[in-house]
Amino acid sequence: MLKWVGVTVAVLIVAVVIGLSVMAGGLRGAYGMVRYALPHMHRGTLRVGDHAPDASLLALDGSSRFNIRERTGAKPLVIVFGSYT
């Protein structure tokens, strides 16, 4: 019985590694995804209809600040989150 549990776990681990490698473009990518990406990826709890959270942001000049709420006026606001890399 223990032997089959071990075999099953091993097969599952191999399947997960292969799956992540395919998604991430290789073993190194799979490691990067597990080590650096997954801990920061959260589905979140916001839903359509929820109040939009506010947050303070720094402007490109590096000194002035504004809040997301300040930019939500009469028009809808499209917010795009992302980074350079």
Partner 1 sequence: MVQIYQDYKDHVDFLTVYVREAHPTDEWQMKSNVKEDVCYAQPKTLEQRVAIANDFVKRFNYPTQFGIDDMSNAANDAYAAWPERIYIIEQGRIAYRGGMGPFNYHPEEARTWLAARYGEVKHEASTATPETKRN
Q: Does 56 participate in binding partner 1 (rule CB under 8 A)?
A: yes
Per the rule left: phi > 0, alpha: psi between -120 and 50, beta: everything else, 77 is: beta
17 binds partner 1 (CB under 8 A): no
Nearest to 44 by CA among 85, 81, 83: 81
Under rule CB under 8 A, residue 27 binds partner 1: no
Nearest to 85 by CA among 43, 30, 19, 37: 37
Minimum distance from CB of 22 to partner 1 (Å)? 12
How many residues form the binding site for partner 1 (CB under 8 A)? 46
Quote the tokens at residue 36: 């650096």
Interaction site with partner 1 (CB under 8 A): 25, 29, 32-33, 35-37, 40-60, 62, 66, 68-69, 71-73, 75-85
